[in-house]
Structure 1
Amino acid sequence: MRGQGRNCLLRRTTCSELQSGRGTGGKRRNSSMDRWYFGKLSRFETQNLLITSTNPEGAFLVRRSEKDDVGYVLSVKADDKAKHFQILQGGGGFYVVANRVFPDVAALVTHYRSNLLSTIQITEACVRMKPEPQDLSHITVENWERPKTEFTLGEMLGSGHFAEVYRGKWKDVANVAIKVLKKNDDLDHREFHLEAQILKKLRHKHLISLFAISTEAMPFYIITELMAKGNLQLFLRDPEGQNMDLLSLTDMAIQVSDGMAYLESESSIHRDLAARNVLVGEGNICKVADFGLARVIKEPFYVSDDKTIPYKWTAPEAISHGKFSHKSDVWSFGILLFEIFTYGGHPYPTYSNHQIFELITSGYRMPRPSKCSRPIYDIMQKCWGWSPEERPKFKELRSDLQSTRSYDE
């Protein structure tokens, strides 16, 4: 079955909460709580929900932290920022300030809607964003192949070795991205079909979603979801990206590692992981994209003699022997971390492609970026272990990145 329901990223309550109507303090959820209780959310997701023009000052939500030892958090929009208050449990109830204990979280919220929380007045529940569908319609769930007449091409968004990507429309209803094959030879057809086949099998909130294909006549189309803010490299170089704090950058890196951990679990490798191939959507949600070089592997290594590889992002064993694996993707992820924490900077900025292999063979690794913490740089260096066996798995990288975040009120 292709469809896996809607990507309800912004409200991830557990099944037991939804079924029992419980979720805060063991009390049954009521219509008021339905408005302000958002289930499990990260600090990053919460910030991007609250800091929108549709939410007034004092807009709030209650969430479960992704960190098990934190529990419930009351998050409030104050001075165009998100302020977070941990809700503690003890003394027979719930509290933010120890001398003011409430029987349940709903009572706590009711109190602080009429009384100051520190210096902040909470006002109304955060506006909920509509979840984005993972498919265009019930038609495309069952039938990938769609006629070109259903799609309209708009502006070009980018161009690669064998395809161009356009902003597009499906039936003048849904915004989509359309990848159009530029050339007409057997090799390009094969690469194009491989990309489509891999995308059909992959469904994850941090991987780009395939909507449809059109291959009845040239040029071939691959139709995917449209990410409003473009690729991560350009986003980080624009004013919005330049103003992101380090915690937000870390959360973007965690999102990419989460998508790659899923890819790893599906025995698939990307082979072209870089900031230019990560797309950014509303709420600064990041998704790994451009699966033109991706492969499903049954052996530890996939061997390729392709000489057009992006050297500055490629692991040494892939440069020298064409050996690609999950661990070569990990090396590339280390370069991606460098791009993120230099706000879209160029890796090895003073060196040419043909110098790269000699550099890394000699033991050279890029120095720590000026705005990058030591723990994050340590993770980069783990990714750049000389042998594949030295490098961590993406699941470990995701955990390591999460551990660098400290809970912030």
Structure 2
Amino acid sequence: MGEKRGTARVLLECNLNDKMCLVQGEAYAVIIVPTLLVGAFLILLAVILWLFIRGQRSQWQRPGLRGIAPMPASRGRPREAAGHGGKVAMPLTETSVESFLRAATPSLAKLQVPRDQLSEILEQIHKGSCGNIYRATLVTGDPPKPKSVVLKALKEPAGLQEVQYFVGRIQFYEYLGKHHNLVHLEGCCTERLPLYMLLEDVAQGNLLSFLWTCRRDVMTMDGLLYDLTEKQVYYIGKQVLLALEYLQDKRLFHGDVAARNILIQNDLTAKLCGLGLAYEVHAQGAISATRTIPLKWLPPERLLLRTAGIRGDIWSFGILLYEMVTLGAPPYPEVPPTSILQYLQRRKIMQRPSSCTHTMYNIMKSCWRWSEDSRPLPKELRSRIEAAARTADDKAVLQVPELVVPELYADVAGISVESLSYCYSIL
């Protein structure tokens, strides 16, 4: 009771002696409380921005090859593999390699090749992380006819996950079917370990190596096999676009269109290969966390870790045209691989090479539009390529005097020297 009287006396004295006392107290409360709230909000905002920037920085500074981008991880969708006519769920409930192969092999019956028809291993052409790749002889038909194939063997010992992935790739090739401008599957051996995948052999090798060969003194070469003209560049480009159209019809995209991922035959027939990323997106709905792609071939949306699509392949196709017209020069030679995103964000693109016509350069620029929706689709771009080819020079041979030093190329391009060792490393 005494306390209440004491408080009342203080308030009364305040009212009598200083009529502004209570008014000032309320004014201070009105000012201080919002100030504290705004300050807390600003501090929280600063913490969020700091965490975001640190996350982005750690993503770009993740250990790995210089100039190679780690791609977003899968979001945990169950793995599927494409069977004949559509997606077929892999029997992941199997607990052993043997039971898994018993369940999966019947669906591949039409592709099985008797092992005794693989009469000879001619040479090892690549030593990959998933297994070795060989050139072998397959003998089929009546009368028997030998045929050179590329044999990809799954390394041993192989766990269940590795076996599932390997068989899933085979089923994916079966789903794709055959297209004139895609490397196709010749068969498989999956009834027991070791597992084999047989792919067609393209003797001339990959387009990047072919372009480097074209840098030799053409006057000393026999015929035109190692010559390349503007018209032939369009011819190869058209074939790549036909392959991309086919993938688009299958609701797929390639994701790594580049000269190193195209095989070339003696008659300049081009075959797009390196379909690992297409398989992962088809089967898992996302790109594996371990999948890395050289930065200089990626479109801006991929560099920003956004969803990929067929128009991203169109951006990379523009880089491919640059590779062909320069006979295998690395893109953006003046830009470090890790600075390519900042370069593109300033809306910069590569300058026209001296060996490139204005018509071809305009096609390149249409591929390098920042907005995906403003880039042409494969069919539209093919029409432009065909129109340009009708008036293209078929006499003047593209020439670049300097020979390529692979180590220097790899450093400027932002890729590993090992990836240049042989074209089938990407199958």
Q: TM-score, normalised by structure 2?
A: 0.57
- Is residue 127 of structure 2 the alignment partner of residue 143 of structure 1? no
Larger relative contact order (CA 8 Å, sep ≥ 6): 2
**Structure 2 CA distance for partners of 1:367 and 1:162, relative to 1, 3 Å:** farther
Unaligned stretches of 5+ residues in structure 2 = 1-82, 85-107, 140-144, 215-223, 395-427
Separation in structure 2 between the aligned mates of residue 186 and residue 392 of structure 1, nearest angstrom: 42
User: Is 1:156 aligned to residue 124 of structure 2?
Assistant: yes
Alpha-carbon deviation of 1:161? 5.2
Q: How many residues align?
A: 270
What's the offset of the Cα at 1:289?
1.1
Question: Percentage identity across aligned positions?
Answer: 31
> What secondary structure, in the 3-state scheme, does the structure 2 residue paired with 1:143 have?
helix
Structure 1 residues 361, 190: CA separation in 2 closer, same or farther (over 3 Å shift)? farther
The answer as to 2:198 corresponding to 1:223 is yes
Would the aligned equivalents of 1:195 and 1:293 in 2 still touch at CA under 8 Å?
Answer: no
SS in 1 for 2:111: coil
- The SS at the match of 2:293 is coil
**Bigger Cα Rg:** 2
For the residues of structure 1 that align with 2:307 and 2:290, how far apart are their CA atoms?
11
Contact 2:225 2:266 (8 Å CA) reproduced: no
Residue 185 of structure 2 corresponds to residue 192 of structure 1: no
Picking from 208, 214, 224, the partner of 2:189 is 214
Compute the displacement of 1:247 (Å).
0.8
- For the aligned residues, what is the CA RMSD? 3.0
Distance 1:343 1:161, change over 3 A: farther
Q: Is structure 2 residue 356 aligned with structure 1 residue 383? A: no
User: For the residues of structure 2 that align with 1:169 and 1:386, how far apart are their CA atoms?
Assistant: 47
Q: Is the 8 A contact 1:327 1:392 kept in 2?
A: yes
Structure (1 or 2) with the greater helix fraction:
2
Partner of 2:175: 201
SS of the aligned residue for 1:324 comes to coil
Match of residue 254 from structure 2: 270
Alpha carbons of structure 1 residues 357 and 154: separation in structure 2 relative to 1, 3 Å: farther
Asked if 2 retains the 8 angstrom alpha-carbon contact of 1:304 and 1:323, the reply is: no
Counterpart of 2:312, as a letter, is: S
What is the CA distance between 1:306 and its match in structure 2?
A: 4.6
Among 148, 153, 168, the alignment partner of 1:175 is 148
Which residue type is aligned with residue 257 of structure 1? L
Which structure dedicates a bigger proportion of its chain to strand?
Answer: 1
Equivalents in 1 of 2:259, 2:225: separation in Å? 13
Q: Determine whether 1:344 maps to 2:328.
A: yes
Match of 2:380 among 382, 396, 404: 396
Check 1:201–1:307 CA distance in 2 against 1; reply closer, same or farther (3 A cut).
closer
- Shift of the alpha carbon at 1:189? 4.2
TM-score of the pair, normalised by structure 1: 0.59
How many angstroms apart in 2 are the aligned matches of 1:187 and 1:331? Answer: 34
Cα 1:323–1:235 shift into 2, 3 Å: same
The reply to whether residue 329 of structure 1 matches residue 313 of structure 2 is yes
Report the 3-state secondary structure (helix = DSSP H, G, I; strand = E; otherwise coil) of the residue aligned with 1:268.
coil
Contact kept? 2:280, 2:287, Cα under 8 Å: no
More deviation, 349-358/189-198: 189-198
